[in-house]
Amino acid sequence: MNPAPMIRPYSPADAEVWNRFVQGAANATFLHDRGFMDYHADRFVDHSLIIEDNDKIIALLPASQAGDTLVSHGGLTYGGLLVPPRLPAATIVGIIEALQTYLAGQGLRSLIYKPSPHIFHTQPSEADLYALINAGARQVRADLGTAIPLQRRQPFSGGRKDGIRKARKAGLVAREAYDFARFWGILTEVLGSRHDAAPTHSLDEMTLLAERFPDQIRLFGTFDGDTMLAGMLLFDCGRTVHAQYIAAAPEGRNSGALDLLVHHLLAEVFAKRDWFSFGISTTNAGRELNVGLSRQKEMFGGHSVMFSQYQWDIA
């Protein structure tokens, strides 16, 4: 019988080996790099874990602690156990068993687990869910997202095609942009006036992250001359590109600016990737579907993807 893997807390001295492991993991993105995770370290009590076998790292768990609960991770949309492509399922089952012992030993009573959706996997990796569910974890939240399989995407709806024609007739141009402040102005106005909300990130935070990850955080816009009418801030996660923020100024909504921008991204910039994610369309902890928003994404050829959360009470 193989010995149980060793679990220890992450420390800042581990940053380099942590990031190197993330780069090769089957179900990680640059969001799990410490340069991204730690930009808001003051808001969370980090309790990330490193799992080792014979002094070799075999898995990571990005996590924060809130009272007697471990969350994977409070500052991330998704996390879960990060593993290399060839780690056997039996080993992952053993990690979950060892994790239960570790959590109990730390006086933690529960784990909130947010696995990476399959569209962010380079190889299928769901043995952790199998092990957790069989250990008693239960699903406690479901958010519905939308994504397009780029190599087999369906055509835009007629209305979206009309928008593209309208934008082209008006001489609008879609291209990469670098004026984060201009886009943040549009985004803030749209979220405030239409949804009574604000961006999750401040402009300063996003500028900082874009400086740290210039190849992964990119801004694209539709322009009338030098005037941005619509924009989309993207997280480039490799095989999957995720639209973190989307917004159009009033004049952009009336001129098909967003339709042209999405066409430009799907047909030209990222045509060879696997997935384009529009993110979730749910509110109230996933209980309410924004039907109009979801339908708009579907009109671009999007299909439903679930973002799940599980709770595991440690006996």
Which pLDDT belongs to residue 189? 94
Helix axes 127-134, 89-105, angle to 10 degrees: 50
Tell me the per-residue pLDDT of 25-44, one tens digit each, with 9 for 90 and over: 999 999 999 999 999 888 99
Span 220-238, pLDDT tens digits: 999 999 999 999 999 999 9
Instruction: State the pLDDT at residue 193.
Output: 85
147-306: same fold as 6-136? yes
C-alpha to C-alpha distance for 278 and 304, rounded to whole angstroms: 10
- pTM, two decimals, is 0.94
DSSP strand pairing (173-177 vs 56-61): unpaired
Please give the class, per CATH, of domain 147-306: alpha beta
What pLDDT is attached to residue 41?
Answer: 86
- As a whole number of angstroms, the distance between CA 72 and CA 210 comes to 23
Number of H helices, E strands in the chain: 10, 16
What is the number of alpha carbons within 13 Å of residue 49 lying toward its C-beta? Answer: 30
Q: According to the model, what pLDDT value does residue 195 have?
A: 73
110-146 residue pLDDT tens: 999 999 999 999 999 999 999 999 999 999 999 999 9
The 10s digit of each residue's pLDDT in 275-286 is 999 999 999 999
Does the pLDDT at position 49 exceed 80?
A: yes
Number of other residues whose CB lies within 10 A of the CB of residue 51: 24
Q: How far is CA 222 from the centre of its chain?
A: 24
Please provide residue 104's backbone torsions phi and psi, each rounded to the nearest 5 degrees: -60, -40
Structural domain boundaries in the chain: 6-136, 147-306
Q: State percent of the chain over pLDDT 70.
A: 99
Q: Which CATH superfamily is domain 6-136 in?
A: Gcn5-related N-acetyltransferase (GNAT) (3.40.630.30)
pLDDT exceeds 80 at position 54: yes
Amino acid 315: pLDDT: 72
Mean pLDDT of the chain: 96
Closest CA to 146 of 38, 254, 54, 276: 276
pLDDT at 1 over 60: no
Given this model, what pLDDT does residue 197 score?
A: 83
Q: What is the pLDDT of residues 150-188, one digit of tens each?
A: 999 999 999 999 999 999 999 999 999 999 999 999 999
What pLDDT is attached to residue 40?
86
Cβ pair 135, 93 in contact under 8 A: no
